[in-house]
């Protein structure tokens, strides 16, 4: 089904390669014992393109989304996977070939794709208002049935969300409100950004826009009890650059990194901008208010991982490696700078927390990382062999490392009970077993990673490398 690309063949080999079959497995083989109180569904999504883009410059970030569901109940695990049947997927399926260039680049797309929806729904999963959504950067949330994974299409929520929503909205654990944002909502590569709020019933209650210093792929943002923060890094977007045959999405080291801070009860015209030397953040762990300051834990790198500069040249792999970093914004003074301090020396990504503490000070954070502080080449920079738990009270890190060659996904935390202490629960992650060329679902005691998984659900096939997931608790 898939056309072999002439360039970037790496992203069509090994566990990057697409999975072209959809499965339904009633019961996976279990090693160990699943916790009796663990009941619900883990959803993960990642790229699994039907076809290589017609410009033969396929990048991992731009493939069609495939959702993988692990349903856990009474000590057993069932599994299913489905493509998100987006308008792009359907158009290309009917044509029997690729029609869109990488990242929807109009300069390299087939004329049949011009003006058509190129959404991929490949980046993150959201369970909100008893509804399941697959998210990506540039389009509306794409809804799926939580049980069958049948596609329900992009949603506008009463025509309130007419453009896009990024992949990392935040749920306030007290109000149940969903805070979301978007970049370039009023046109490709524009410098406008959008901020919105959706109540716990999926009704959009707030939408405001503002201008950023430049057009940036702003992948994540921060929400505290009192503030919202929007990072703008030099991972720039440019139609003009793309039309000259240069990258649509590229790192521009000549720019500075900016972060806007806004009170949640304020308006976007009260935004206060802070700035620092060029650095990049794809993912935020958490942020909270600390008196007259806002503190955030982020995964910071010196340049954007896996992406070229404005001339199309590859970046420095060491500069692309993200590490756990603390950002501190002093709101009581007039200084426009902010403090940055690395907290860990290991290259790491995909941070998660006990989400009952979103926007509140958290003691524990979880993430994927490399077991040792070693240089990685660009292709391996986002493939990690270890899971870590960081204790911010003590500064101690505990880890579990997979066998050589295996790769672990972003962990998702599930509390042991609704009133359990912070971090008391389970970490769920999917592992690629290189030697067997298949995948496992791993279940860890979140407070004892070093002991290894308490249960492993074995798949007969592989789950291609992906990005993010979410947990849907079973109805009680």
Six-digit token string for 441: 């679902």
Query: Within 13 Å of residue 432, how many CA atoms lie on the same side as its CB?
Result: 20
Tell whether 280 is covered by a domain. Answer: yes
Q: How far is CA 347 from the centre of its chain?
A: 17
Tell whether 412 is covered by a domain. Answer: no
- 334 C-beta neighbours (distance < 10 Å), count: 6
The two most distant CA atoms of the chain are separated, in Å, by 60
Q: What domain count does the chain have?
A: 1
Q: Write out the E strands in 257-363.
A: 257-263, 272-276, 280-290, 293-301, 323-330, 339-342, 348-352
Tell whether 410 is covered by a domain. Answer: no
Tell whether 337 is covered by a domain. Answer: yes
| Domain encompassing residue 322 | 164-353
CATH number, domain of 281, equals 2.40.128
- Nearest CA among 413, 411, 341, 426 for reference residue 369: 411
User: How far is 48 from 29, CA to CA, in rounded Å?
Assistant: 25
pLDDT tens-place values along the chain, 476 residues long: 444 444 456 788 899 999 999 999 999 999 999 999 999 999 999 999 998 777 767 778 889 999 999 999 999 999 999 999 999 999 999 999 988 887 777 778 888 888 888 899 999 999 999 999 999 988 999 999 999 999 999 999 999 988 788 899 999 999 999 999 999 988 788 999 999 999 999 999 999 999 999 999 999 999 999 999 999 999 999 988 988 888 888 999 999 999 999 999 999 999 999 999 999 999 999 999 999 999 999 999 999 988 899 999 988 888 999 999 999 999 999 999 999 999 999 999 999 999 999 999 999 999 999 998 764 554 456 799 999 999 999 999 999 999 999 999 999 999 999 999 999 999 999 999 999 999 999 999 999 999 999 999 999 999 999 999 999 999 75
Tell whether 236 is covered by a domain. Answer: yes
Tell whether 285 is covered by a domain. Answer: yes
Model pTM? 0.94
Tell whether 243 is covered by a domain. Answer: yes
Tell whether 159 is covered by a domain. Answer: no
């Amino acid at each position: 089904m898939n056309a072999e690309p002439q360039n970037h063949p790496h992203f069509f080999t090994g566990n990057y390669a697409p999975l072209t079959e959809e499965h339904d497995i009633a019961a996976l083989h279990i090693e160990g014992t699943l916790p009796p109180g663990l009941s619900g569904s883990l959803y993960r999504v990642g790229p699994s393109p039907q076809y290589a883009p017609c410009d033969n410059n396929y990048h991992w970030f731009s493939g069609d989304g495939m959702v993988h569901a692990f349903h856990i109940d009474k000590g057993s695990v069932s599994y299913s996977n489905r493509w998100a049947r987006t308008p792009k997927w359907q158009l290309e399926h009917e044509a029997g070939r690729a029609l869109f260039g990488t990242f929807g680049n109009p300069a390299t797309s087939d004329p049949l794709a011009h003006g058509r929806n190129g959404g991929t729904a490949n980046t993150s999963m959201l369970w909100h208002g008893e509804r399941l959504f697959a998210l990506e950067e540039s389009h509306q949330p794409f809804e799926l049935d939580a049980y069958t994974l049948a596609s329900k299409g992009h949603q506008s929520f009463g025509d309130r969300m007419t453009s896009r929503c990024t992949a990392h909205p935040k749920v306030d654990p007290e109000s149940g409100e969903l805070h979301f944002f978007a970049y370039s909502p009023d046109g490709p590569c524009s410098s406008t950004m959008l901020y919105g709020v959706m109540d716990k019933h999926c009704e959009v209650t707030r939408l405001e826009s503002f201008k950023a210093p430049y057009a940036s792929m702003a992948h994540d943002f921060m929400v505290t009890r009192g503030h919202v923060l929007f990072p703008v890094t030099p991972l720039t977007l440019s139609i003009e650059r793309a039309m000259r045959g240069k990258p649509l999405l590229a790192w521009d080291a000549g720019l500075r990194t900016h972060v806007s801070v806004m009170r949640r009860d304020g308006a976007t015209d009260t935004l206060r901008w802070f700035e620092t030397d060029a650095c990049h953040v794809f993912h935020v762990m958490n942020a909270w208010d600390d008196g007259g300051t806002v503190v955030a834990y982020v995964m910071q790198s010196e340049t954007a991982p896996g992406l070229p500069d404005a001339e199309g040249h590859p970046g420095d792999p060491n500069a692309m490696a993200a590490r756990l970093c603390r950002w501190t914004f002093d709101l009581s003074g007039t200084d426009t700078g902010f403090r940055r301090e690395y907290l860990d020396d290991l290259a790491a990504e995909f941070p998660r927390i006990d989400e009952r503490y979103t926007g509140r000070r958290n003691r524990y954070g979880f993430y994927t990382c490399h077991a040792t502080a070693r240089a990685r080449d660009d292709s391996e920079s986002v493939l990690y062999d270890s899971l870590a738990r960081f204790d911010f009270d003590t500064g101690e890190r505990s880890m579990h490392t997979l066998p050589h060659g295996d790769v672990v996904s972003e962990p998702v935390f599930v509390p042991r009970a609704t009133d359990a202490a912070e971090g008391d629960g389970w970490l769920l992650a999917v592992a690629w077993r290189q030697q067997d060329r298949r995948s496992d679902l791993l279940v860890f005691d979140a407070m004892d990673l070093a002991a290894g998984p308490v249960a492993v659900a074995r798949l007969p096939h592989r789950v291609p490398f992906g990005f993010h997931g979410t947990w849907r608790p079973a109805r009680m």
